[in-house]
Amino acid sequence: MTVRILPSILSADFARLGEDVARMEAGGADWLHVDVMDGQFVPNLTFGAKVIEAVRSVTKLPLDVHMMVWQPERYFDDFAAAGASRMLIHAEATPHLHRHVNRIKELGCAAGVAINPATPVEVLVDIVQDLDTVLVMTVNPGFGGQQFIAHTVEKICRTRELLTRTKSRAVLEVDGGINRETIVTCYRAGADTFVAGHAVFAAADPRAEIGELRRRAGEVVT
């Protein structure tokens, strides 16, 4: 199973954003994760299209845009134009998942759905075949640096079972509290794509840290 490491720019130094993005790219990051928060769906306010555009201008890495917002459809066109590669919307944020997933794809981006720690995996059953990504939150969304919620491991297992049963080709992404210890547990539960913030941005050697995360998740590093 391929392992992907996605540094979250929420943990970057925005006074040196270009430098930090370059460090992650040189360090072997597979994609970059961009957290968009509207201050309503979650109790924090972060980035919009201008930041996505700024990151796109300094890297060719795929941009994984995680939309923690109400009415996500309001942003699709702007985010696609800004350079998003993949847009993830929350199951809890809209009653129109099928419509919105299709619109994201029409704009030329990969599409995914995220679920919060208390949201059952079953909400994905009727949309999973259309998805490129399923994101299981392993913390309550809204802030970086939170402690990993242990019971989400069982949810990762059930999500992997759903993907296998439906023969879905979606990647299984996890976000929240990922470090050298939790990445092992999540990988064994079935995740293959890992968002890491502080663990890589605070490392003296991001390449070594990304490599270690990859190694611990079970991939042979050459």
Residues designated catalytic: 35, 175
Strands, sheet with 193-196, edge to edge from the N-terminal-most edge strand: 4-7, 193-196, 171-175, 133-137, 110-115, 86-90, 63-68, 32-37
Local structure of 113: helix, strand or coil: strand
- Measured at the CA of 39, the angle between CA 33 and CA 45, to 5 degrees, comes to 50
What is d(CA 61, CA 103) in angstroms, rounded to the nearest whole number? 23
Distances (CA, A) of 162 to 43, 145, 220: 31, 29, 27
CB-neighbour burial class of residue 98 (10 A; exposed 0-12, middle 13-18, buried 19+)? exposed
Length of the chain: 222
Residues 173, 195: contact at Cβ < 8 Å? yes
User: For tokens 């919307």, what's the residue?
Assistant: 89
